[in-house]
Amino acid sequence: MLNLLKGKTDSQTQGRKNSIFFGFRKEEFPARRGKIFTSAKKAHFPSLDVFTQNIFSYICINTRRENEAFLFPLEPLSSRFMNTSMNTSFRSQQVLVALVCITLFGGFLQSCTPVETNVQPPTITKTGSIVEVKNLNASSEDRFTLFNLRTGAIVQNRDSATSTWDVGFRKTSIIVNGGAIRTGKGAGLRLTEQAFETLRTIPTTGFRTDESEENLAFTPRTGQSWYIYDATVIRPIENVCLVVRCADGQTVAKIQILSYYKDAVQPDALATTRFYTFRYQLTASNPRAFD
């Protein structure tokens, strides 16, 4: 029987046989332990390598999640055997075993790892200076869907440490690209009792940034952000306008969340959630006001 061990370090599990070691971070492997293959994000399928540490041999299979890999330990080998001419033949056998492992567990590995490239892009329409984004998928459990308000495009997660995105969406949480845990110069401000259409002048104070996962510019709680949890549905709060300073530190956008449900249907307990529809407008000729 396979024993799934999560979060164990190599020192805790070295020498145990017939187990899958899950959750290893690549940075935990000292360089002397052998080459770890290509970055998982660039691979269409999990990549693999076989390496030896002391008398133990491992099969390393990268997942699609960055810096994470599966380890399949092989039978311990004696030092004498490793130093004989049979070593080359044995390594060939190791590679063969690794290929078998990929065949058996490939589907399992892929199902355990989120894939960002398969996310359907939202529908974007522009009417004058107002941009509407429909069905932005924010359903990932561990990744934000990043969006560039200036270009009106999704930004891949591999660029999360850059200034190419302005806001991010994950479930009901919205982040900005500014603050201690971000790279950009962005910030956010929540205005209440403020209709989207009538907001003309950008406030000069009150902007907040993402300082930590627990201290975000927009507090991800019902009634304190853009939404209210009403029994079984999530509804945007009327006359709440989000003002976002973009990652460039200059452009500002006002945002109104219109729906949290796919295709912006009338919300009910059976509707598909975590699909944002929102509209926004950027500052243009006057950096302190909306045209």
Q: For the full predicted model, state whether its pTM sits above 0.85.
A: no
Cα Rg for the chain, rounded, in angstroms?
25
**Confidence at 2, pLDDT banded by 50, 70, 90:** very low
- Tokens representing 207? 């902007």
CA distances (Å), origin 70, targets 120, 158, 165, 227, 275? 28, 21, 31, 40, 32
Beta strands 19-25; 3-6: pairing state: parallel
pLDDT for 275 equals 98
- Residue 122 pLDDT exceeds 60: yes
pLDDT for 64 equals 43
- Using DSSP's 3-state secondary structure scheme, residue 149 falls into coil
- Residue 111 pLDDT exceeds 50: no
Tell me the C-alpha distance between 266 and 1, whole Å.
Answer: 48
Q: Which residue has the tokens 């627990």?
A: 214
